[in-house]
Amino acid sequence: METDVILIGAGPIGLETACALKHAGVDYIHLEAGQIGQTIYDWPRHARFFSSPERVAIAGIPVQTHDQEQLIGEVYLAYLRSVVEIYDLDIHLYEPVTAIERSDTGFVVTSNKRGTARNYRSRYLVLATGDMNTPNRLGIPGEELPHVSHRFDEPHRYFRQKLLVVGGRNSALEAALRCFRAGAYVSLSYRRPYLDSSRTNSRLHLELSILTRKNYIPFYPSTVPVAVGPEHVDLGPSRYGGASKRETGLIRVDADFVLLLTGFQGQVEWLKNLGAGFHPESEIPKINEATMETSVPGLFVAGTAVSGNQQSYKVFVATAHEHGPKIVRAITGTSHAPFGTVPSRRYPFTIQDIASKDS
């Protein structure tokens, strides 16, 4: 099957890009390995966005909430379903891509639909595959034990259980707080000497700082797990240093459950196999900021797929709304009309807006 554009990924920015392509009359095929918003579906239950509703709204359709507060994942998924229904987007769901190759005229994409291989050809390819495809594994003994997980789902299972949370970013702090409030005996290990307020949500940082300072949640800074046993975890010193003398040797922490919330990796193999250039340390693909095109002609990226290893977490839904329109303009040569009719509801937030002291 041949088309002008193949779009891979149906998260928020993938859907917004699909809306822009359809609005511009571009012939495209949209592939998704799971369900729309699959990453958000995999979030912990009742987890909230840190961004406000207007910043995560897409395609000019406002998000209205009963309390005007940040959305929980379940409500946002319902909103995304509404966007797909309103624009009647045709998405090949549960059709994972298995291979991508370059051809003389563009790209050849192979997918798997319930055991049957399908081939698609296009002049342009857009990857909106996100940045949470694979968890960062530590490669330590015991990491595959059944009481160890790289994803936090909900706090009830940890009630009156000893839980070690490993990590120091928002996901780890949120999991530690929610499980602590649900009655778990939580401890926290982080590879850096302290919880960095510039890398985390201010509310989470404040609450964890108080709880760790009072030792309600024992905190082991500058440590990393080196081995996991059935009822304990051995922590060793991290390469970041800053540990006290007591912490320079192995520390054994009792644990009934372990959450290794050490981040995720995006789907970079396809970009690398296609010959796209990268910035080596950050693994950010080299792109034309005006068009979102990579160093490979006709190959575009959108959403958090452009963010590499997300060391600074500047790329997320709120700052990626411009990606789809840029791609459509690069492909068609014309700009489509903005979504929506109310200027203040067009959500023109950028990385510069988020970084500004006045935002």
User: Residue 46, CB half-sphere, CA atoms under 13 Å: how many?
Assistant: 5
Spatial separation of the C-alpha atoms in residues 112 and 34, rounded to whole Å: 12
Q: Tokens standing for 65?
A: 């909430």
pLDDT in tens for each of the 359 residues of the chain? 999 999 999 999 999 999 999 999 999 999 999 999 999 988 888 888 878 888 899 998 988 888 888 888 899 999 999 999 999 999 999 999 999 999 999 999 999 999 999 999 999 999 999 866 778 889 999 999 999 999 999 999 999 999 999 999 889 999 999 999 999 999 999 999 999 888 788 889 999 999 999 999 999 999 999 999 999 999 999 987 655 444 457 999 999 999 999 887 767 888 889 999 888 777 788 999 999 999 999 999 999 888 765 555 567 788 888 999 999 999 999 887 777 766 666 555 666 665 654 44
**What angle, rounded to 10 degrees, do the helices at 170-181 and 202-213 form?**
60
Nearest of 26, 16, 177, 38 to residue 95 by alpha carbon:
38
As a whole number, the mean pLDDT across the chain is 88
Spatial separation of the C-alpha atoms in residues 116 and 287, rounded to whole Å: 34
Backbone angles phi, psi at 157, to 5 degrees: -65, -20
Q: Where in the chain is the domain with CATH 3.50.50.60?
A: 2-133+264-355, 137-260
With the C-alpha atoms ordered 30, 35, 37, 38, is the resulting torsion angle positive or negative? negative
List, in sequence order, every residue forming a beta bridge with 2; answer none if it has no partner: 121
pLDDT in tens, 287-323: 999 999 999 999 999 998 887 655 555 677 888 889 9
Can you give the pLDDT at residue 49? 82
Q: Tokens standing for 91?
A: 């998405």
Domain 2-133+264-355 top-level CATH class: alpha beta
pLDDT in tens, 136-166: 889 999 999 999 999 999 999 999 999 999 9
The neighbour count for residue 192, using CB atoms within 10 Å, is 15
Q: Tokens standing for 240?
A: 């970041």
The per-residue DSSP string of 237-281 comes to E-TT----GGGSS-EEEE-SEEEE---EE---HHHHHTT--EETT
Can you give the pLDDT at residue 358? 45
**What angle, rounded to 10 degrees, do the helices at 12-23 and 73-87 form?**
10
- CATH code, residues 137-260: 3.50.50.60
Can you give the pLDDT at residue 192? 93
For residues 26 and 15, the answer to whether their CB atoms sit within 8 Å is no
Can you give the pLDDT at residue 264? 75
Q: Tokens standing for 229?
A: 């046993």
For residues 251 and 224, the answer to whether their CB atoms sit within 8 Å is no
Phi-psi region of 347 (alpha: psi -120 to 50; beta: other; left: phi over 0): left
Give the pTM.
0.82
> How far, in Å, are 162, 189, 202, 215 from residue 245 at the CA level?
25, 16, 30, 18
The torsion defined by the Cα of 82, 88, 94 and 98, in degrees rounded to 10, comes to -130
Q: Tokens standing for 109?
A: 């994409």
